[in-house]
């Protein structure tokens, strides 16, 4: 039996190339899932695979930083052969005697990361009691955008669209922008780039983040030499305060992008940090020393104020969309039909699409449950209306999605595309007739703080939306039809409704909303047209960046008085 050990779900395109190259569809073992096992259970699992071949697919070169770890895990398995498959699908056999070098690299990286975390702990303690530097009135035309997220091959998701949206809007507005990041997906050609390549990761993984932090600060200091940008913009990332370090060194203001507490997200939507105290302190340092903190919802603005950030340093504006990328006019009918045919979808099918990374808050499991019920309870209606559900993405909740709608009886109605690169998202949305945003409340009872980028992408593509009436989603789509009181007639000439809003987490409400838009083509056309107009008037990235720059200018004015 063949296996593939990965750190994340592979993109659909690379997975197909990989499987064609190996001549098999292996069983995938994902490291995040293996981490959930106790050491004893992990060893037992690996030793009883019955593996004839074990592959280590590397989707991009940055993922080589974790190869020593993957080789070390592979060495524990009972696999007869171990093979690395690089981004070009070239094979490299790994003899078991060579694993010793990988283990040595892993041990060395582990020692280095422990040392670096200790150094960062001392620096963070000092910064927690140090005052923020004063903002100096300097030229704001040059910007360093720092994105320290390590993606390990991931090429899709709202974060990628957000980074590209802000960077490109800054550049389009005449700023001289340099992006420091692992990749530059969907970034304008005129934007400079400093590649951030993580070194070999040791164990535990969290400690290696502090080695990456220190290395990237040194890299950026070397890149700029005696010069400095007008200001720094950093997307807050776990265990990274590079923006603070560089702001203090260069004497320039720091704009910090805050999309929610990484500590909270890890605890509630993933795997809690092992070293939670320092991770929390890093967040506090970033918030303390940022001159402006920009966020994407009123809920998060309130949270920031509760954490001690002065209101006059907080700027909030919802996530947005690039109208030149998410533009239905870019695509011909022939292109959409070709994409349908590629996925075995009939030309005349009515396609209802969800796109996302299958995270805890996306509600894809609720969507899957509603699909299952429609198939079980309304199969004749599904067939009559030629309904086809397309779920674009992969992630944490994929197993529950497959359990709900992966059975053979669902196959005529459901397509699971897997992950697609972010720059292909517009074509999948153009293929759709209806789009769904079934987000769910936070399970711990806290307010939903998100601002889903997919919502604004849906709007810009002019698609009729069925969405959860949940905090900002409901506010953005406030002028909408409600699933509990659906209109009987067609929309009037002056109808301003933007979507159909449903009760969050309620399969029955979601089903009613979807049935309504399927059966009402006149409402589909009206809702899509209205949504696109709303997106263009309020929710382009230029609007978002204008708000940020206005906040920075206001800060400069205040501190000059």
Q: Do 128-319+543-560 and 328-539 share a fold?
A: yes
Question: In angstroms, rounded to a whole number, what is the distance separating the alpha carbons of residues 401 and 406?
Answer: 7
CATH 3.40.50.2000 at 128-319+543-560, yes or no: yes
- Can you give the length of the chain in residues? 561
pLDDT of res. 154: 59
Question: In angstroms, rounded to a whole number, what is the distance separating the alpha carbons of residues 458 and 480?
Answer: 15
Residues 6+ apart with CB under 8 A from 495: 526, 530
pLDDT of res. 151: 67
pLDDT of res. 155: 58
Kindly report the number of other CB atoms within 10 A of residue 376's CB atom.
Answer: 10
Torsion angle of C-alpha atoms 366, 368, 372, 375, degrees rounded to 10: 120
Question: In angstroms, rounded to a whole number, what is the distance separating the alpha carbons of residues 287 and 267?
Answer: 20
pTM above 0.85, yes or no: yes
Q: Which among 291, 298, 293, 290 has a CA at the least distance from the CA of 317?
A: 298
pLDDT of res. 68: 81
Alpha helices in 251-344 (DSSP H): 262-269, 276-289, 298-306, 333-342
pLDDT of res. 153: 56
User: Which CATH fold would you assign to the domain 328-539?
Assistant: Rossmann fold (3.40.50)
pLDDT of res. 242: 97
pLDDT of res. 33: 77
Segments of the chain with pLDDT less than 70: 62, 98-99, 137-138, 151-157, 559-561
Question: In angstroms, rounded to a whole number, what is the distance separating the alpha carbons of residues 364 and 392?
Answer: 10
5-46: pLDDT as tens digits: 987 778 888 888 999 999 989 999 987 778 777 778 888 998
Domain ranges of the chain: 2-94, 128-319+543-560, 328-539
The long-range contacts involving 400-406, CB below 8 angstroms and separated by at least 24 positions, are 400/365, 400/368, 401/358, 401/364, 401/365, 401/368, 404/365, 404/368, 404/369, 404/371, 404/372, 405/368, 405/371, 405/372, 405/375
Q: Which among 237, 235, 158 has a CA at the least distance from the CA of 451?
A: 158
Q: Which among 441, 426, 436, 439 has a CA at the least distance from the CA of 464?
A: 436
Alpha helices in 63-98 (DSSP H): 67-76
């Amino acid at each position: 039996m063949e296996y593939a050990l990965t750190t994340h779900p592979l993109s659909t395109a690379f997975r197909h190339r990989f499987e064609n190259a190996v001549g098999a569809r292996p069983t995938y073992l994902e490291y995040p899932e293996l981490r959930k096992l106790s050491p004893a259970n992990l060893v037992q699992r690996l030793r009883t695979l019955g593996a004839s071949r074990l592959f280590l697919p590397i989707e991009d070169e940055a993922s080589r930083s974790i190869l020593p770890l993957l080789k070390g895990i592979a060495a524990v398995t009972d696999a007869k052969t171990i093979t690395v498959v690089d981004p070009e699908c070239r094979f490299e056999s790994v003899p078991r005697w060579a694993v010793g070098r990988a283990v040595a690299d892993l041990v060395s990286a582990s020692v280095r990361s422990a040392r670096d975390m200790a150094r960062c702990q001392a620096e963070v303690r000092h910064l927690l009691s140090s005052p923020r530097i004063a903002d100096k009135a300097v030229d704001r035309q040059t910007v360093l955008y720092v994105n320290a997220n390590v993606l390990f091959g991931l090429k899709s998701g709202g974060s990628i669209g957000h980074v590209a949206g802000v960077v490109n809007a800054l550049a389009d507005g005449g700023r001289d922008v340099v992006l420091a990041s692992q990749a530059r997906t969907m970034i304008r050609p005129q934007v400079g780039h400093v590649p951030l390549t993580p070194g070999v990761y040791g164990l535990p993984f969290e400690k290696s983040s502090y080695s990456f932090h220190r290395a990237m600060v040194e890299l950026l200091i070397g890149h700029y030499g005696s010069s400095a940008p007008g200001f720094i913009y950093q997307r807050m990332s776990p265990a990274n305060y590079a923006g603070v370090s560089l702001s203090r060194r260069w004497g320039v203001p720091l704009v910090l992008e805050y999309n929610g507490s990484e500590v909270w997200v890890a605890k509630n939507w993933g795997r809690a940090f092992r070293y939670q105290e320092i991770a929390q302190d890093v967040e506090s340092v970033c918030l303390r020393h940022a001159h402006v903190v920009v966020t994407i919802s009123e809920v998060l603005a309130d949270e920031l104020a509760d954490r001690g950030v002065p209101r006059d340093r907080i700027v909030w504006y919802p996530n947005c969309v690039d109208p030149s990328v998410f533009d239905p006019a870019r695509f011909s009918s022939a292109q959409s039909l070709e994409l349908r045919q590629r996925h075995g979808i009939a030309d005349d099918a009515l396609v209802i699409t969800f796109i996302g990374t299958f995270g805890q808050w996306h509600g894809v499991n609720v969507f899957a449950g509603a699909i299952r019920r429609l198939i079980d309870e309304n199969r004749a209606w599904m067939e009559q209306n030629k309904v086809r559900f397309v779920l674009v993405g992969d992630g944490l909740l994929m197993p529950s999605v497959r359990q709900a709608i992966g059975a053979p009886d669902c196959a005529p109605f459901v397509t699971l595309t897997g992950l697609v690169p972010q720059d292909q998202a517009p074509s999948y949305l153009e293929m759709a007739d209806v789009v769904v945003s079934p987000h769910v409340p936070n399970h711990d009872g806290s307010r939903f703080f998100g601002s889903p980028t997919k919502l604004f992408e849906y709007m810009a593509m002019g698609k009729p939306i069925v969405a959860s009436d949940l905090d900002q989603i409901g506010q953005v789509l406030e002028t909408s039809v409600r699933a509990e009181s659906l209109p009987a007639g067609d929309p009037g000439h002056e109808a301003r409704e933007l979507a159909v809003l449903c009760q969050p987490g309620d399969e029955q409400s979601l089903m009613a909303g979807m049935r309504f838009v399927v059966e009402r083509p006149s409402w589909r056309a009206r809702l899509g047209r209205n949504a696109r107009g709303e997106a263009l008037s309020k929710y382009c990235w230029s609007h978002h960046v204008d708000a940020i720059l206005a906040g920075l200018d206001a800060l400069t004015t205040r501190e000059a008085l």
